[in-house]
Structure 1
Amino acid sequence: MPVQPENFNTRYIIGISFISALGGYLFGFDFAVISGALPFLRTQFMLDAWWEGFLTGSLALGCIVGCLIAGNITDRYGRRPGLMIAAAIFAISSIGIALSQGLTFFVIMRFAAGIGVGMASMLCPMYIAEVSPAKVRGRNVAINQLTVVIGILVTNLVDYLLADHGPDAWRWMFGLGVVPSLVFLVGVIWLPESPRWLLKDGQVDKAKAVLNKIGSAEFAENTTAAIQKSLTGNQKVSYSTVFQKSVRPAVTVGIILAVFQQFCGINVVFNYTSTIFESVGANLNRQLFETVSIGAVNLIFTILAMWLVDRLGRRPLMLIGSLGLSILYIVLAFALQNHYPAYMVSVFVLLAISIYALSLAPVTWVLISEIFPNKIRGAASSVAIVSLWGAYFILVFTFPILAKKLGTYGPFYLYAGICLLGFLFVVGKVKETKGQTLEELEDNLVRH
């Protein structure tokens, strides 16, 4: 008999999900703060197109390292220690960036911040997926995306309010990140370890204790038995294990979805809002106001996505997002090419943000947290998210260079084509996962 939703300790599950998802807030902070700071940094460090792209993308290079570190830590020592380390890195890097006197030190500290972002981007969705019952797992993992977009919105708003505080306003923009970093660190101390990791480590009693807090005794016993069954056999995991024939289909889908989420191009809008609106004549105040508008729309549609992901499902949302972005990018590119007024460009930008926030943004993270077998989830998630951050670096590094050569509108025609290819991939390769336990998904993978 399936366990009924009322047998779950909903308040406890949401509580630990939100605490873990504070890492998502910091992810959103470090991701968004560059957009408001770039107009100041161009003057401070006399950035050309190459350095602007590299400075922005240096976060992604750190993210790659962070994912690799997190993959090792999470399999050896558990999810919780990794979250604590990420929180500490966030705090230290925020102070370091704010105190930077030269471009080299700034880039080093931005790279360090990326390590924390990379760790959080992998560990937070994984942890939430592992402590959430199947029927609410999609919604709960989407909590992480909710905190990401709250982080983006709050950061954009703070950047907008600080913009008139002189040429050193960017230092405050980055330095204020130390406050949520410390809140996250204190919160993680309260979190229990993932019951799936505890069982993998042989700590059966501790795992059952956590599961008994999440649900009924029957839920704890059934879940323990299912997890232990999925962990039978070879426990030694290496990156070569991730590419074994039996799991290769899931890993391939995870990598392609991760890369597609970045190559779809929307993060150009997030990171280079000022560049896009400057190209149609908007002043600095209007540029920063647009970042706030983007953050607000992003938040509204992420909340809607949390409601839909366990009702409508993962696959339909991915299809809507990929095809919708493809169409909107063509319209946006045309508007930029023909120098439409800033308010009209803003409409198309906000429509693109809303489609992305409803689909590719949260659902990709949900799928990555779900589709890998228990035995390799840490290593496989690491590989997929390393691929994601590698794609992010390529995207944000190349945009200023492409925009200089092709015009600001040019890259959006390219992104439209990529989104169409992504739509075809989802149609052919992505299966629905809603309502199934992680162990049921693993059984289906083995059978197919």
Structure 2
Amino acid sequence: VCVAFQRVTGTLVLSVLTAVLGSLQFGYNIGVINAPQQIIEQEYNATWMHRYSEPIPHSALTTLWSLSVAIFSIGGMLSSFCMGIISEWLGRRKAMLINNLLAFIGAGLMAMSKLCQSFEMMILGRFTIGAYCGLASGLVPMYVGEIAPTSLRGALGTLHQLAIVTGILIAQILGLESLLGDKDLWPVLMGLTVVPTVLQMALLPFCPESPRFLFIVRCQEHHAKSGLRRLTGRMEVSDELAEMKEEKRRMDMERKVSIPELFRSPLYRQPIVIAILLQLSQQLSGVNAIFYYSTSIFQKAGVEKPIYATIGAGVVNCAFTVVSVRALKTLLLFNDSVPSMSYVSMLAIFGFVAFFEVGPGPIPWFFVAELFSQGPRPAAMAIAGFSNWTANFVIGMFFPYIAHLSGPYVFLIFAALLLFFLIFTFFRVPETRGKTFDQIAASFHLPARTNMDLDMDMDLGKPSTELDYLGGDDGIN
């Protein structure tokens, strides 16, 4: 514990907190659309009346609102697929810096949509801010995972999810009608996402670039060493450099890994399937159905003041992210057939959110970065992000229609999916705590040896990488 504590330097704290401002915006833009739903729908109706001199049809309103919610995921889906290329071209830090331009554009479009009487601007703004969040959802955990010491990687990785749920809670609170959630101020609520944008742009120049990126991708050992010294607070960084040199040596022995090759190569097929399914487990849990539509869900369940119940879910979300551990959960089903069940509905959703945040909430985002070494990591993060955002879009777009057809039993669908993900995680997902990237990769490269064998070897001081085991003396002196 003392060793870990000594490694937490001011530069490391600044860099991690600056990076996760992008995650805060991600969460804010997930939650901001929830509370003012009815008010924005009224604005859509007023715009329709202004254009066509008749009220908007219910089906058109449902479609426009679902699109306003779900097109956020389309933007994220497309940009996350490009994340690998952008992060290699610009570097992790510069990519986060330039990505903020999308946040400015998206916030401006959403904030001006009421003044311009244009729900198209609102939808386009949601798409643009979604594109920003798609890049941030990959860049932030990649950067944090690469600058964090091995012993702190898991703990610092959870800050990405903590920032997301904090952003959701901030949006829910500011969405109160007594604050910014009324018919006049909701454009301010939508445009407020520029605040963390400005803060991140001001702080990023003081943060070092990822030493792993500088050394392994750009071959700039001097700059990588300088970054390591700032992050660790030590002049002697030979151990960290040795680990990166070993990783680079193994990368140089392999061909460059493309996205199709992740699926074709037996070395990467299993980890990429795990990465995809972990991302799907996060979204197909149904949690974003709650964050997107909880106000209307609580309203239908008979809760008198649904916005406060929504904020309660956000508080539970944050609290359980702080105590996040590796576990999966069972989704709760609620029914509003009797008045007293409205309270059961609230407890069920609070419980679901709590268990989500000790399982698939924080884990998938940084787990992907741990499964892959520097070479295939950008492509793997792009695939994982694309999978996450695709599932996010499906939930955001089609949940209202499925819920209308199946009523409260819609959550049984999520329960069945979660049971599958629980079984898969238990049997197929390896433990990565305290292991280097090479040690994690070796557990997939050696089908004849179990993860337990590798853990025992590390405890005994034996080598744990694939090439070492292929040596003539089997790594034994």
TM-score (normalised: structure 1): 0.90
Q: CA offset at residue 444 of structure 1?
A: 2.6
Match in the other structure for 1:256: 277
The residue correspondences of 1:27-426 to structure 2 (distance < 5 A) are 27-46=26-45, 48-100=61-113, 101-162=117-178, 166-199=182-215, 200-215=217-232, 216=234, 217=236, 218-234=238-254, 236-243=256-263, 244-283=265-304, 286-305=305-324, 308=325, 317-318=326-327, 321=328, 324-326=329-331, 329=332, 332-333=333-334, 335-338=335-338, 340-407=340-407, 409-426=408-425
Q: CA offset at residue 96 of structure 1?
A: 1.2
C-alpha contact 1:52 1:400 (8 A) present in aligned 2: no
Find out whether 1:15 has 2:14 as its counterpart.
yes
C-alpha contact 1:129 1:137 (8 A) present in aligned 2: yes
The whole-number CA distance in structure 2 between the counterparts of 1:66 and 1:447 is 34
Q: CA offset at residue 344 of structure 1?
A: 2.7
Residue 56 of structure 1 aligns to a residue in which SS? helix
TM-score (normalised: structure 2): 0.84
Deviation per residue, 1:202-234 (Å, 9 max, x gap): 111111111222334233333332332342234
Deviation per residue, 1:280-323 (Å, 9 max, x gap): 2335xx12112211111111111111xx4xxxxxxxx23xx2xx
The whole-number CA distance in structure 2 between the counterparts of 1:373 and 1:142 is 20
C-alpha contact 1:14 1:140 (8 A) present in aligned 2: no
The code of the aligned residue for 2:132 comes to G
Q: CA offset at residue 34 of structure 1?
A: 0.7
Match in the other structure for 1:314: none
The whole-number CA distance in structure 2 between the counterparts of 1:6 and 1:167 is 49
Q: Residue 190 and residue 139 in structure 1: after superposition, are their counterparts in 2 closer, same or farther (change >3 A)?
A: same
The code of the aligned residue for 1:190 comes to F
State the superposition RMSD in angstroms: 2.0
Q: Residue 164 and residue 388 in structure 1: after superposition, are their counterparts in 2 closer, same or farther (change >3 A)?
A: closer
Residue 434 of structure 2 aligns to a residue in which SS? coil
C-alpha contact 2:36 2:181 (8 A) present in aligned 1: no
Q: Residue 184 and residue 337 in structure 1: after superposition, are their counterparts in 2 closer, same or farther (change >3 A)?
A: farther
The code of the aligned residue for 2:277 comes to I
Residue 375 of structure 1 aligns to a residue in which SS? coil
The whole-number CA distance in structure 2 between the counterparts of 1:45 and 1:300 is 35
Residue 278 of structure 1 aligns to a residue in which SS? helix
Q: CA offset at residue 152 of structure 1?
A: 1.1
Q: CA offset at residue 401 of structure 1?
A: 0.5
C-alpha contact 1:402 1:410 (8 A) present in aligned 2: no
Deviation per residue, 1:242-263 (Å, 9 max, x gap): 2222111101110111112101
Number of matched residues?
424
Larger helix percent: 1
Q: Residue 267 and residue 57 in structure 1: after superposition, are their counterparts in 2 closer, same or farther (change >3 A)?
A: same
Q: CA offset at residue 98 of structure 1?
A: 1.1
Q: Residue 349 and residue 117 in structure 1: after superposition, are their counterparts in 2 closer, same or farther (change >3 A)?
A: same
Residue 253 of structure 2 aligns to a residue in which SS? coil
Gap regions ≥5 residues in structure 2: 46-59, 448-477
The code of the aligned residue for 2:139 comes to L
C-alpha contact 2:39 2:182 (8 A) present in aligned 1: no
Q: CA offset at residue 267 of structure 1?
A: 1.0
The whole-number CA distance in structure 2 between the counterparts of 1:164 and 1:201 is 46
The whole-number CA distance in structure 1 between the counterparts of 2:309 and 2:6 is 45
Structure number with greater Rg is 2
The whole-number CA distance in structure 2 between the counterparts of 1:351 and 1:103 is 35
C-alpha contact 1:255 1:383 (8 A) present in aligned 2: yes
Structure with greater contact order relative to length (CA < 8 Å, sep ≥ 6): 1
C-alpha contact 1:281 1:342 (8 A) present in aligned 2: yes
The code of the aligned residue for 2:210 comes to S
Gap regions ≥5 residues in structure 1: 309-316
C-alpha contact 1:88 1:182 (8 A) present in aligned 2: no
Q: Residue 162 and residue 440 in structure 1: after superposition, are their counterparts in 2 closer, same or farther (change >3 A)?
A: farther
C-alpha contact 1:88 1:185 (8 A) present in aligned 2: no
Q: Residue 164 and residue 248 in structure 1: after superposition, are their counterparts in 2 closer, same or farther (change >3 A)?
A: closer
The whole-number CA distance in structure 2 between the counterparts of 1:104 and 1:155 is 22
C-alpha contact 1:246 1:446 (8 A) present in aligned 2: yes
The code of the aligned residue for 1:433 comes to T
Residue 379 of structure 2 aligns to a residue in which SS? helix
